[in-house]
Amino acid sequence: MRAGKKAAAVAAGAGLAAVLFLSGCEAKYTPEDAMAYVECVLDASYRGELDKYVELTDSTMEEARNMYQQNIDNVMEGTGIESLGLPEELKEQYREMAPELLALAKYEVTGAEEEENGFAVQVSIEPFSGYQDLEDELVSALEEEASGMTEMPDDAAINEMVYRNMFEILRDELKDPAYNEPQEYTIHVTEDDNHMYEISEQELIDMDYAMFPG
């Protein structure tokens, strides 16, 4: 099985989710193949489940691990925490949390229909609601902490206070994540002139934003 590869990442909602996109295989697909392909890309991207992805894309496990690691790096980059000179302990807490944030993605591949140039794969998603009120919750937490201060902190202290409070809010969300009503989403698996199958990056980006509104 021969496969081409193409990678991209997007920060969703509050900049705390990333997704990896890869092209498919040369052989003629069935609707079941298209469903399996979409599922393995999503599972590798959000859950770090790489075995099926390696099998269907003909990637090596090392390549798959590197790509998932890049997703985690993209989560960190999306938070902006790496560039603020914050304590290493706080940055490490965010890095340890990153895979859990990716895994909040809730989806199920439910069907596929053959089209002229490939397949339309139906995915049922449940949008994570935790980012929608994140800003308001963060402001409230900061106001409460600031009310007990007797002097104005410097910029470094403010940044640390912001990220420490945001970490606690997200940690609470992870304990009992809440989701909006399910939505139906369609991902197209298309065949190019070289008889290679691939997924539109833009469709997966749009689905990523739909799964993590905020």
The C-alpha atoms of residue 121 and residue 61 are separated, in whole angstroms, by: 26
For the entire predicted model, the pTM comes to: 0.81
The C-alpha atoms of residue 97 and residue 34 are separated, in whole angstroms, by: 31
Percent of the chain topping pLDDT 70? 87
Judged against a pLDDT cut of 60, whether residue 4 lies above it is answered with: no
Considering only residues 16 and 101, tell me which one the structure prediction assigns the higher pLDDT: 101
pLDDT value of position 73: 86
Judged against a pLDDT cut of 70, whether residue 25 lies above it is answered with: no
pLDDT value of position 191: 83
Contacts of residue 198, Cβ cutoff 8 Å, sequence gap at least 6: 4, 6, 22, 23, 24, 189, 190, 192
- Is the CA virtual torsion 83, 84, 86, 90 positive or negative? negative
For the chain, state the CA radius of gyration: 20
120 closest CA partner among 210, 46, 42, 191: 191
Contact 25, 196 (CB under 8 A): yes
Judged against a pLDDT cut of 70, whether residue 16 lies above it is answered with: no
Judged against a pLDDT cut of 70, whether residue 12 lies above it is answered with: no
At 58-106, the pLDDT tens digits run 778 998 898 888 888 888 887 888 888 889 999 999 999 999 999 999 9
pLDDT value of position 27: 53
20-29, 126-135, 153-162: range with lowest mean pLDDT: 20-29
Question: Given the structure tokens 């190019």, which residue do they identify?
Answer: 192
3 closest CA partner among 30, 32, 37: 37
**Pairing state between β 183-191 and 197-199:** antiparallel
At 155-197, the pLDDT tens digits run 889 999 999 999 999 999 999 999 999 999 999 998 877 777 8
3-17, 127-141, 151-165, 198-212: range with lowest mean pLDDT: 3-17
Contact 26, 1 (CB under 8 A): yes
DSSP character at residue 28: P
Mean per-residue pLDDT for 25-52? 87
Judged against a pLDDT cut of 50, whether residue 153 lies above it is answered with: yes
φ, ψ for residue 114 (rounded to 5)? -75, 140
pLDDT value of position 22: 44
pLDDT value of position 198: 85
pLDDT value of position 56: 84
Contact 81, 94 (CB under 8 A): yes
